[in-house]
Amino acid sequence: MFVLTTVADTVRISPHLFSRPTLSVIHDEIDRKYPNRVIMDVGLVVSRHGDALSVGDGVLAAGDGGAHHEVVFRLVVFRPFMGEVCLGTVAESDGGGVRISMGRFFEDVRVPAYWMLRPSEFDDRSGLWVWTPNFDDDEGGGEEGEGGEGGGENENRFEMDIGTEVRFRVKAINFTRITNTAKGVQATTTTTSRQVAKGGAPGEGSSSGGGGAGGGNEQQQAARDRSASDADALPDRPVRKRSTSIDLTEADALPASMHITASICEDGLGLTSWWMTPGEEEEEEGEEGAEGE
């Protein structure tokens, strides 16, 4: 989930800071500039890691009294690897999928409709996604159905309530660069994902896939579901990168610099409460009761 990356940059030290130790000032400048910043095709910077690896001599530029140092240093960067399983909470839900927050640390994780557990559907009345598995052939199905959170007509109805803990698998990492051009505001997105089988569904990182949530062509949706399952079954698929550009001149909101496309389309993924044993549920209730006291 976290990686170390080496960065080379020019750090400027203002004249009024010359009396302080050079290394200390450089560390302060790095800490001010980089944390909570997305580096394209690298990840979200968390913090500086240790002291600078090397510091060059200060150079004075014409018309600028500051000293410019070439510095090489390391940063702790948030960048999950492909296929990593992470935890978060459900933040938003709409017909295109679910947005997941990782504890206010990173809130741009998106589970599109075609990566939901099947069969799932979006309930327009509650505004939530609902997983409706069929346990008719499962002897233990009655017990699992009683744990359904929806409580509707179908006893096997599991709603993804806002704020509940969810387990997901990383399918793609997307970096978007916003630029102003003569044609207007342009967004170029670079996607890192696993290679999908030929004739498969839309790319795992494709932002256009979420539009298939509302019904559409049933045959296309079925083909998309089959290829999604086939993609999960392929071991050690190569990682690929691809770029797309769109015009944002008339867009109401700009896309996030970094967002993750995720999946819950596997056993064990989705809300953690769906897969708890009775013993684990009792332990969790006991811990919540102790915290309340």
Quick one: pLDDT band at residue 164, thresholds 50, 70, 90?
Answer: very high
**Each residue's pLDDT tens digit, 212-253:** 344 444 444 444 454 444 444 444 455 566 666 666 666 667
- Residue from 163, 166, 136 nearest 265 by CA: 166
Which has the closest alpha carbon to 169: 268, 264, 272?
264
Domain map of the chain by residue range?
2-78, 85-275
What percentage of the chain has pLDDT greater than the value 70? 67
Q: How far is CA 145 from each of CA 25, 154, 158, 268, rounded to the nearest angstrom? A: 60, 9, 8, 16
Task: Say whether pLDDT at 147 is over 90.
Answer: no
59-68, 203-212, 266-275: which range is least confident on average? 203-212
Per-residue pLDDT tens digits for 58-104 = 999 888 889 999 999 999 999 999 999 999 999 999 999 999 999 87
DSSP β-bridge partners for residue 97: 94, 112
- In which band, very low, low, confident or very high, does the pLDDT at 111 lie, cut at 50, 70 and 90? very high
- 68, 42 contact by CB (below 8 A): no
Provide the 3-class DSSP secondary structure of residue 161.
coil
Q: Do domains 2-78 and 85-275 have the same CATH topology?
A: no
Could you write out the DSSP letters of every residue in 192-229?
A: EEEPPPTT-SS-TT-TTGGGGGG---HHHHHHHHHHHH
User: Which architecture characterizes domain 2-78 according to CATH?
Assistant: 2-Layer Sandwich (3.30)
Lowest mean pLDDT across 48-52, 101-105, 124-128, 181-185: 181-185
The arrangement of secondary structure in 85-275, i.e. its CATH architecture, is Beta Barrel (2.40)
Tokens (6 digits) for 108: 């741009």
Across 159-173, 176-190, 234-248, the highest mean pLDDT is recorded for 159-173
- Which one, of 265, 260, 276, lies nearest residue 131 by Cα? 265
pLDDT at position 201 is 43
Give the range among 220-224, 274-278, 287-291 with minimum mean pLDDT.
220-224
How deeply is 159 buried, as exposed, middle or buried, from its count of CB atoms within 10 A (0-12, 13-18, 19+)?
buried
Please, is 125 exposed, middle or buried when counting C-beta atoms within 10 Å of its C-beta (0-12, 13-18, 19+)? Answer: exposed
Under DSSP, is residue 282 helix (H, G, I), strand (E, B) or coil? helix
Measured CA to CA, the distance from residue 93 to residue 122 in angstroms comes to 9
Angstrom distance (rounded) from CA 94 to CA 214 = 10
The amino acid sitting at 257 is: S
What number is the average pLDDT over the span 278-292?
A: 60
The reported pLDDT for the residue numbered 188 is: 81
The pLDDT of 195-206, averaged and rounded, is 44
| Residue 6 identity (one-letter amino acid) | T
This model's pTM is above 0.75: no
Both structure tokens of 35: 């944390």
CB-based contacts of 114, cutoff 8 Å, min separation 6: 201, 202, 209, 210, 212, 213, 221, 224, 225, 228
Please give the full DSSP string across 85-121, using - where no structure is assigned: EEEEEEEEEETTEEEEESTTS---EEEEGGGS-SSEE
Spatial distance between the Cα atoms of 64 and 174, rounded to a whole number of angstroms: 38
What three-state secondary structure class fits 81?
coil
Hey, which bits of the chain come out as E strands? Answer: 2-13, 38-39, 43-48, 54-55, 59-60, 67-78, 85-94, 97-101, 109-112, 120-123, 128-131, 158-159, 165-181, 184-194, 239-247, 258-263, 270-271
